[in-house]
Chain A
């Protein structure tokens, strides 16, 4: 059943964004916690838009890799920021979709008139990762804690084995399949016959686009330096297809393996935040409106038993959102497809072009069709910037909103983000 958009809700405005440069794992932000990074990012946004001491409708953010002590990460960051301490906040987590989902949640409350302003964001660190004790040791420690007598305590302690003392390190792997995300992506790349060269080309374009964007000052009001870093330190302006061709594949097996460290995103640390508001609030505060969040859609696929690729859910979300808005895939001036892996972007595009897939899987009479590749990730994406999981959505929303604003009124942009757990989030922005 096709849904229709309700006419009496307003569109949330995107006022602007801020992020800290993204840093490869265990580099510039090795000493920083999620809370440090999120607080610094919020304070940068607060300074940029003069929000010191202001109470906003809410702040919504999250982290994918999170210490249990950070249960209230976003609220704690707000309390440590220059916002009014009376600004409510909550955490969300939808893997790599976290940042965009947070923006949708804030935008929806603004659309319904429940709040007038809000910040959506995300942060992740793979350097200050939450190590956990193994499950066996955890159970021993819990019974030790519950033990009433010395005898009980000794009994509990006697159950500890040396092998249990190795901590559990969070892995970028799917709990139900045991496969790393890259291995899942490699399966999809093989299924869709995504070539090595086109992946490398996409990666090179991401780096050169982003380097050019930095050089022309595009990121000047989107990025605030942090801990000595002024640009994403994964960015390789001099990257070339020839150089990338020399790399050995890291995901997939044998002859057909195509995915290397260069056409896959590295583990990264960083944070981002986006300021959303009603048009009225933005006008009252004398703040700009870069674009509006028009609509969004989430989908999920059965990658465990259903035979669909782990990162293919955005492919399913897209036609639902397009139909609801009476738009075709070609009705956009910019496309922001998150580059978890170059092969993911290419498989996504190929699926939308494939008549059989669009008919059998998406239930469409005709394929969504091809897009103009010149409009894709024009200022670089995750292969260049890196991908601190929950921070990517905020980076893309702010970046696209500014692109649309620069292009003039009435321009449309599309966002597509794949996420662990077989989920995907897509959204439409319009200037």
Chain B
């Protein structure tokens, strides 16, 4: 697999525009290419802004979800490229699994790599895994798998079945209620650079078939992480399934339960009970 090393993070706004312009006529297999950036350092001001918007404590150790800020633009570059078989508009992030292999200090330079794999079949279309790793001093310290579903798309012949479910228990006890304002998507977009129009306003979301703007799944995931701060092991697996869109504004509940030394959780609508994000957190 060829590795292309980039000098800087690509602009997400440009990639979204490129992806929209080149949405048609895609097909074929996953690209046999990895994108990489080496010696990436975390900007402490950006980390502080990320922590604030996700309600995470500011400290010297990176939150489990933060390296995604660094790898997501690379994944977007891969997906918006013409060689990628699925059109970016219409791709839905349905599952995200993050492994933190050890505590990562905010001042450690990181080597990043992303690639696509596991083109899989799903009853509603096709799914693909966007993988990412972060290494420090040659040692892998973080990895993630983001599974995207392309509704109506077709996986290649003989593709395996996509696995997008994260089983959790009933989780009936509510730990917290969050009022999520209508600008939550814009605020996270400003920090993350993820300016996908479906998150920014009702009008731009409607253009893509959503009745209102929806919250970024990775923001909800980071907020769950923030709610569990102080109760987390250094090395952990944080695995979530993004179920139904979280329309803005909303009032949602967080339910948590300690299971086998880890946690199960669910973020649901406070009014309808609709599941938005469910997941597990386990020590590694």
Contact surface of A with B, Cβ cutoff 8 Å: 31-33, 35-36, 39-40, 43, 79-83, 85, 225-228
Residues of B within 8 A of A79 (CB): 230
Q: How far is the CB of B216 from chain A (nearest CB, A)?
A: 22
Q: From B45, B59, B107, give the contact of A36 (CB < 8 A).
A: B59
A227-B60 contact given A32-B48, A79-B230, A80-B229, CB 8 Å threshold: yes
**Closest 4 interchain pairs by CB?**
A31-B48, A36-B58, A80-B230, A81-B230
B39 contacts partner chain A, Cβ-Cβ < 8 Å: no
Q: How far is the CA of A393 from the CA of B265 in the complex (A)?
A: 41
> Contact: B58 with A31, CB < 8 Å?
yes
B283 contacts partner chain A, Cβ-Cβ < 8 Å: no
B10 contacts partner chain A, Cβ-Cβ < 8 Å: no
B57 contacts partner chain A, Cβ-Cβ < 8 Å: yes
A31 (CB) vs chain B CBs: closest residue: B48
Task: Write out, one digit per residue, whether chain B residues 39-82 have a CB within 8 A of any chain A CB (1) or not (0).
Answer: 00000110011000000011110000000000000000000000
Residues of A within 8 A of B230 (CB): 39, 43, 79-83, 85
Contact surface of B with A, Cβ cutoff 8 Å: 44-45, 48-49, 57-60, 106-107, 229-231
> Contact: A227 with B57, CB < 8 Å?
no
Residues of B within 8 A of A43 (CB): 59, 230
A31-B45 contact given A81-B230, A82-B230, A228-B107, CB 8 Å threshold: yes
Residues of A within 8 A of B229 (CB): 80
Q: How far is the CA of A79 from the CA of B45 in the complex (A)?
A: 25
Q: From B44, B58, B231, give the contact of A228 (CB < 8 A).
A: B44
Q: How far is the CA of A33 from the CA of B59 in the complex (A)?
A: 11
Q: How far is the CA of A401 from the CA of B57 in the complex (A)?
A: 30
Q: A31-B58, A39-B57, A228-B44 are in contact. List 16 more A-B contacts (CB 8 A).
A: A31-B44, A31-B45, A35-B57, A39-B59, A40-B59, A40-B60, A80-B230, A82-B230, A83-B230, A225-B60, A226-B60, A227-B44, A227-B58, A227-B60, A227-B106, A228-B107
Q: How far is the CA of A36 from the CA of B49 in the complex (A)?
A: 13
Q: How far is the CA of A39 from the CA of B48 in the complex (A)?
A: 15
Residues of B within 8 A of A85 (CB): 230-231
Q: How far is the CB of B254 from chain A (nearest CB, A)?
A: 14
Q: How far is the CA of A257 from the CA of B106 in the complex (A)?
A: 45
Residues of B within 8 A of A40 (CB): 57, 59-60
| Secondary structure of the A contact surface, majority rule | loop
Residues of B within 8 A of A80 (CB): 57, 229-230
Residues of B within 8 A of A227 (CB): 44, 58-60, 106
Q: How far is the CB of B43 from chain A (nearest CB, A)?
A: 11
Which of B45, B49, B60 has the most A CB atoms < 10 Å from its CB?
Answer: B60
Q: How far is the CA of A228 from the CA of B60 in the complex (A)?
A: 8
Q: How far is the CA of A39 from the CA of B57 in the complex (A)?
A: 8
Q: How far is the CB of B50 from chain A (nearest CB, A)?
A: 11
Residues of B within 8 A of A82 (CB): 230-231
A33 (CB) vs chain B CBs: closest residue: B58
Q: How far is the CB of B220 from chain A (nearest CB, A)?
A: 19
Residues of B within 8 A of A39 (CB): 57, 59, 230
Q: How far is the CB of A31 from chain B (nearest CB, A)?
A: 3
Residues of B within 8 A of A31 (CB): 44-45, 48-49, 58
Q: List 23 A-B contacts (CB under 8 A).
A: A31-B44, A31-B45, A31-B48, A31-B49, A32-B58, A33-B58, A35-B57, A36-B58, A36-B59, A39-B59, A39-B230, A43-B230, A79-B230, A80-B57, A81-B230, A85-B230, A85-B231, A226-B60, A227-B44, A227-B58, A227-B60, A228-B44, A228-B107
Residues of A within 8 A of B48 (CB): 31-32
Q: How far is the CA of A31 from the CA of B45 in the complex (A)?
A: 7
Q: How far is the CB of A169 from chain B (nearest CB, A)?
A: 21
A36-B60 contact given A31-B45, A80-B229, A82-B230, CB 8 Å threshold: no
Q: How far is the CB of B147 from chain A (nearest CB, A)?
A: 31
Residues of A within 8 A of B107 (CB): 228
Q: How far is the CB of A33 from chain B (nearest CB, A)?
A: 7
Q: How far is the CA of A92 from the CA of B221 in the complex (A)?
A: 35
Residues of A within 8 A of B59 (CB): 36, 39-40, 43, 226-227
Residues of B within 8 A of A83 (CB): 230
B47 (CB) vs chain A CBs: closest residue: A31
B58 (CB) vs chain A CBs: closest residue: A36
Q: How far is the CB of B263 from chain A (nearest CB, A)?
A: 14
Q: How far is the CB of A77 from chain B (nearest CB, A)?
A: 9
Q: How far is the CB of B240 from chain A (nearest CB, A)?
A: 21
Q: How far is the CB of B118 from chain A (nearest CB, A)?
A: 37
Q: How far is the CA of A406 from the CA of B231 in the complex (A)?
A: 35
> Contact: A36 with B57, CB < 8 Å?
yes
Q: How far is the CA of A227 from the CA of B58 in the complex (A)?
A: 9
Q: How far is the CA of A145 from the CA of B154 in the complex (A)?
A: 55
Q: How far is the CB of A163 from chain B (nearest CB, A)?
A: 29
Residues of B within 8 A of A32 (CB): 48, 58
Q: How far is the CA of A40 from the CA of B60 in the complex (A)?
A: 9
Q: How far is the CA of A379 from the CA of B53 in the complex (A)?
A: 40
Which of B44, B45, B58 has the most A CB atoms < 10 Å from its CB?
Answer: B58
Residues of B within 8 A of A81 (CB): 230
Residues of B within 8 A of A36 (CB): 57-59
Q: How far is the CA of A227 from the CA of B45 in the complex (A)?
A: 11
Q: How far is the CA of A328 from the CA of B229 in the complex (A)?
A: 49
Which of B44, B57, B229 has the most A CB atoms < 10 Å from its CB?
Answer: B57
Q: How far is the CB of A147 from chain B (nearest CB, A)?
A: 22
Q: How far is the CB of A28 from chain B (nearest CB, A)?
A: 9
B232 (CB) vs chain A CBs: closest residue: A82
Residues of A within 8 A of B58 (CB): 31-33, 36, 227
Q: How far is the CA of A35 from the CA of B58 in the complex (A)?
A: 9
Q: How far is the CB of B279 from chain A (nearest CB, A)?
A: 20
A225 (CB) vs chain B CBs: closest residue: B60
Q: How far is the CA of A80 from the CA of B225 in the complex (A)?
A: 11
Q: How far is the CA of A103 from the CA of B94 in the complex (A)?
A: 51
B229 (CB) vs chain A CBs: closest residue: A80
Q: How far is the CA of A31 from the CA of B42 in the complex (A)?
A: 14
Q: How far is the CB of B122 from chain A (nearest CB, A)?
A: 39
Residues of B within 8 A of A225 (CB): 60
